[in-house]
Structure 1
Amino acid sequence: MKFIRENLINKAFLLFTVLVAAVVTVGIVLNRMQVSSISLNLFLAVSVLVLAFILIVFILDVIIPLNRVIKQVTNLLTGKNYKKVNPITIDEIGVMTHFFNEITTDLEKISYDIKERRRMSSELDIASKIQQDVLPKEAPETPGLDIVAKTRSAAEVGGDTFDFLMSPDKNQLFVYIGDVTGHGVPAGLIMMMVDTLVTAMVSQGVSNGRDLIVNTNNLLTPRISSRLFMTSVMLRWDKQAQKMYYTGAGHEHILVYRTKTEIVETIRSGGIALGMIPNVAQIVQEKEIPLEIGDTIVLYSDGITEAKDKIGNMYELDKLTASLKRHGYRPSAESIFDNLTKDFSNFVGEYVQVDDITMIVIKYLGKDSATSKVKLEVSVDESQAERKSKLWGWS
């Protein structure tokens, strides 16, 4: 900007010098032509006035407007307060002024967008922290069951959930998994609503999975958009009877590995997703899953079966079932879980996670077995690089 100003001043000075030289030359010529001194003086006076007028016009139309623009541009570049400049002329300086004003308008919009993004990012971080605090850190001690559960969100706030809730009489353990349509803040809000409702009803003594699903749906449906819903499977473990029951709400199949036959059963969860219709009492049923020592139950979200490899092939249910058939014989839920996720990771490779992923593995060890340690893990995908290098943090 200093260069532009000095360049214009130099050119103006050169022009003014040329004009003065021209006036002096004309004056000398007139003097030699013996023009009267009065006429010569008059000519010189008029010439001086004309030159002064030209100089004043140049200062008013060029120097002052240019200085005004240069000052604001300098303030902008140095981080000081700046303001828009009203264009006085429609010449080059007026065009420069117009472009400066356009640039400042765009910069103000960009600055506002950056501030909004920072604010939203901060709020998402808080929402993510709240959501992770809602998910269980540990499960109630349950002799006979060995459990591993992990979830990973594709965004700061996810739509997958799971929980372990003990009834007030300590005889019923409820284990459920849920998957809200989509992910992000709307899905996270629905997830937390369902978690809150289920937790409240279990604490108030609701004693079976069917009533939990029906009552949750009745309370949830009027309060959410028709475009949002949540699939779920609710397991109920009767500690005294050593029996497992399930109630479905439109979720993925339940997988059961049978130790004696070394086969995997796929059980349709049944029911209809929470939030889709007002009353599901005639649709939802609670059924038993007969278990023998060594049998294993696997619950999962569709982020697993719908995951794709680099050429677009989906993992699908058959690959998960085949993986469980290979590894269901293993002695612990954790060893089964680790091998299931290893097979999954080998299939998807560097697949960038686009959906939330959750899996629960429950192995029945028998009534007289010691209480096993339940392992839970919750994590959030922080970056694309992290997703590529270590899917779920499981390997």
Structure 2
Amino acid sequence: MSAPVSASRVALLVLEDGRIFRGEPFGAIGENLGEAVFTTGMTGYQETLTDPSYHRQIVVQTAPQIGNTGWNDEDDESARVQVAGYVVRDPARRPSSWRSRRALGEVLAEQGVVGVAGVDTRAVVRHLRERGAMRAGVFSGDALAPDGDLVERVLASPWMEGADLYGAVTTAEPYVVAAHGEARFRVAALDVGIKSNTPRMLAARGIEVHVLPADTSIDQIVDLGADGFFVSNGPGDPATADVPVALTRAVLERGIPTFGICFGNQILARALGRGTYKMRYGHRGINIPVVEHATGRVAITSQNHGFAVEGEAGERFDTPFGPAVITHTCPNDGCVEGLAGLDFPAFSVQFHPEAAAGPHDAADLFDRFVDLMAAHPAPRL
């Protein structure tokens, strides 16, 4: 349970440009620094809070009422809440769901996550859309430092651009998620911030999933006898992910079918020689359209990324492994949402086909990975 909130306690969201939003404490009392971003999802706050891709980010929830369904024991995407802070307008006073086991505020307090409630989140989002995602701090307590001092603390915090964060969320030890029924394939899944639902989606298709730490070597992949290689979502700047990029290149050199999601899309792109860049405010939510150019099909997708791959819709480009193509883009802003090898077995998407809170328009990409492994058996050395 969170500590009782006294009448004198206040909570602040402080942005690096000096804008301050005042509210009430929600969750733990204290302070934390991170990057302020917003998510447009109307549902799925539990999956959002436990998504490792949100590590070191202060999440502003655009949906006004949060916590109505409480917190259950099934929907976590990792072992803990990952966000650096949480900003909401109207937290539920009492959750109502047969699946709920505790209130959202209790979980935030237990895990030391500083939140701010009672904020006009529409104003915050408009500010971030106009100025871009930026460094920020959440502060709560009985007696806070002067506003100017808090802004200085935020300005002294590190930027997200250049942040090397995947090592903070990867698994310490390998583990296996068994296939449902008879195992058809064995996949080495590189954990640079993997969500719990991803191995479940793979296992449901008869895949034995070996989830591996981010510093796994190519020899370990080969010794595993993997039929495929998967690169997960994760936090931070892909330009810092030299070790996963090098491993992905080594996997491609050996002709092992490869599939990447989100951060994995950026890692594959960099392994192919493409650049990445920091977006103005990113894509975060469960209502973002994506066009697949080969078919013209539009999928509504779940996304969470502040970096993107350089390129344009339908662009073909040369790589050390053969030609590749930009397969998907977002019609809202032209952002690259997927790429694939034309003569080598690899593809990736920027969005989340494993989306536990929905939508499920893109779940068939896991079937495509199965088809890719069937059509291109990994060489045995």
- Check whether TM > 0.5: no
Name the TM-score, length of structure 1 as normaliser: 0.21
Larger relative contact order, structure 1 or 2 (CA cutoff 8 Å, min sep 6): 1
The structure with the larger Rg is: 1
Name the TM-score, length of structure 2 as normaliser: 0.22
Structure with higher strand content: 2
Structure with higher helix content: 1
